[in-house]
Chain A
Amino acid sequence: MSDASDITTAPATAPVVPDAAVQVSGVDKIFTGKKKATVTALESIDLTVAPGEFVSLIGPSGCGKSTLLRLIADLDTPSTGTVTVFGKTARQARIDQEYGIAFQQAGLLPWRTVTGNIELPLELHGVGGAARKARVSELLALVGLSDFAESYPDQLSGGMQQRVAIARALAESPRLLLMDEPFGALDEMTRERMQTELVRITGETGAAVVFVTHSIPEAVYLSNRVVVMSPRPGRIRDVLTVSLGTAQERTEELRENEAFFENVSKVRELLHGEAPVGIRGVETR
């Protein structure tokens, strides 16, 4: 591993896959804290997400999974390496609105109605009133909130707020959806219902998804591939391909399925099974 502190330009360590939804190549992310202390949040990350593919990032706290998502979203920039989204730089992809995003907090604007929140990105990008109205009613139907179009966020439950946030993320029909523990603050029952709905929605829209979670069943239930990460420094430990069928085949019964449990065990083994990786590279904290 090269000393990352003196690298400013980014040598591409892997060839760019032209059709990939997301391509992360040789990415390191080093945060500089107080008194020049550095924390290596991510180390030599390589990851490719195909169009329409659902990829979960799973790992314990501090493994850098949220940081990786923020790099893809261009909310942060890598210290080394490159991130491309649909063949563009992450920055250009953000400017071109190539992705929709949902955070752990719904992050709705409390002074706007549900409709006002969902149409926010459309409004900011100059979509006309009539087109906005049509799109919002489509999205409300998609997330099952047609009766709450004129409600304010403080009148909705946490699960409903999160559905509004997902509708907002889907507003511009992005081909890529980035989700940072969107169901993390919900109770277990709501969570499972939301997962089922998300599988249906992504099946209908055909969008690729990068989904950050720390729930093993959630990752297995939703994903085509589960990326298992380890902390300090954040690295990809392994990638597990889950073959539980297409979106249409992923129903509630899947949660009772033998193959589902097998995959859950496999992810668990990957997370806990191997000997912990010692602290290496620069000093942490």
Chain B
Amino acid sequence: MRSSAGIYRTVLAPVLLGLVALALWQLLVVAFDIKAFIVPGPIAIGTEFGANLSTVLQGALVTGGNALVGLVIGGVTGILFAIIAALVRVIDELSAAVVAAIAVVPIVALAPVLYTMFGAAAETGRQLVAAIAVFIPVYINTLRGLRQVRPVHRDLMRVYAASAWQTTRTVTVPGALPFIFTGLRIASSLAVISALIAEYFGGPIGGLGKSITSAASGSNYSLAWAYVLGAIIVGLVFYCVTLAIEKIATRHYSPNT
């Protein structure tokens, strides 16, 4: 009963809404004879997407690969730095300004600098851009989570005369997992966006970002939009996978124990 109604609400209704929107879009493009350089119809985009599936897929692998490397590097360093900051208050206080500074840096603007640093033929610059974009939300959320230890757990660890590291390992970090995953979920979309936009500023050819710009400059607007569709799918995959991992990892978390 409830589950079938739930499936209808969470899956069927949005799909239906999406289809209606697409139909409306197509209708407007045809009815008003909108030119492709303004916006092509969904059928034209879909046709291009189907015809260039293998190149879209290749581009998605390059961009997605960069985003994934960035997500892992930025995620791991973000979590590690947060743990250190939670353990050593001085580091937390010292780093607050640096973190605020990184948070306001237009990270993608670093891309040209990084290309000259690592060479225009390497993907390293793009991966670093994604990593820096990931670092901030992961660091901030993890640090907040590490500060949420329940008093009864803190008492318990004191009773056990547990060392700071034991407490971190057995109580603080596991307790912070929901927060860490929230950070990673936000960061996963950021990683894809940053890796993609970084391609606009140079570097090797092959990613979705490069493909979008070259298709658009070649007046092949439907193809450009097909690559955009590919980028949206990559972003969705990243988001859904991190969400699924989060749900599995935190399935037993409840505040009443």
Query: Does the CB pair A154–B257 fall under 8 Å?
Result: yes
Interface status of B153 (Cβ within 8 A of chain A): yes
Query: Does the CB pair A110–B253 fall under 8 Å?
Result: yes
Query: Does the CB pair B252–A111 fall under 8 Å?
Result: yes
Interface status of A124 (Cβ within 8 A of chain B): yes
When distances are taken between beta carbons in the complex, the residues of chain A under 8 Å from B170 are 109, 120, 123-124
Binary contact track B51-86/A, C-beta < 8 Å → 1, others 0 = 000000000000000000000000000000000000
Query: Does the CB pair B252–A107 fall under 8 Å?
Result: no
When distances are taken between beta carbons in the complex, the residues of chain B under 8 Å from A103 are 152, 155-156
The A99-132 residues at the B interface (CB cut-off 8 A) are 101, 103, 105-111, 120-121, 123-125
Interface status of A95 (Cβ within 8 A of chain B): yes
When distances are taken between beta carbons in the complex, the residues of chain A under 8 Å from B253 are 110-111, 154
Interface status of B166 (Cβ within 8 A of chain A): yes
Interface status of B158 (Cβ within 8 A of chain A): yes
Interface status of B177 (Cβ within 8 A of chain A): yes
Chain B residues touching A, range: 20 to 34
When distances are taken between beta carbons in the complex, the residues of chain A under 8 Å from B158 are 74-75, 94
Report Cα–Cα, A120/B253, bound state, in Å. Answer: 18
Query: Does the CB pair B156–A124 fall under 8 Å?
Result: no
Interface status of A153 (Cβ within 8 A of chain B): yes
Question: Which chain B residue lies CB-closest to A125?
Answer: B160
Chain A residues touching B, range: 20 to 34
Q: Which of A73, A105, A108 contacts B159 (CB 8 A)?
A: A73
Report Cα–Cα, A124/B163, bound state, in Å. Answer: 9
Interface Cβ pair total, 8 Å cutoff: 59
Question: Which chain B residue lies CB-closest to A96?
Answer: B161
Main secondary structure on B side of the interface with A: helix
The A62-82 residues at the B interface (CB cut-off 8 A) are 73-75
Question: Which chain A residue lies CB-closest to B161?
Answer: A95
Interface status of A152 (Cβ within 8 A of chain B): yes
Query: Does the CB pair B160–A110 fall under 8 Å?
Result: no
Whether A94 contacts B159 in the complex (CB less than 8 A), given A111-B177, A153-B257, comes out as yes
Interface status of A196 (Cβ within 8 A of chain B): no
* Least Cβ–Cβ distance between B257 and chain A, in angstroms: 4
Report Cα–Cα, A101/B254, bound state, in Å. Answer: 22
Q: Which 4 A-B pairs have the closest CB atoms?
A: A107-B152, A153-B257, A152-B252, A154-B254
A residues near B, CB below 8 A? 73-75, 94-95, 97, 101, 103, 105-111, 120-121, 123-125, 152-155, 161
Show 23 A/B contacts (Cβ-Cβ < 8 Å), sorted by A.
Answer: A73-B159, A74-B158, A75-B159, A101-B156, A101-B159, A103-B152, A107-B156, A109-B153, A109-B171, A109-B257, A110-B253, A110-B254, A110-B257, A111-B253, A120-B170, A121-B160, A124-B160, A124-B170, A125-B160, A153-B257, A154-B253, A154-B254, A161-B257
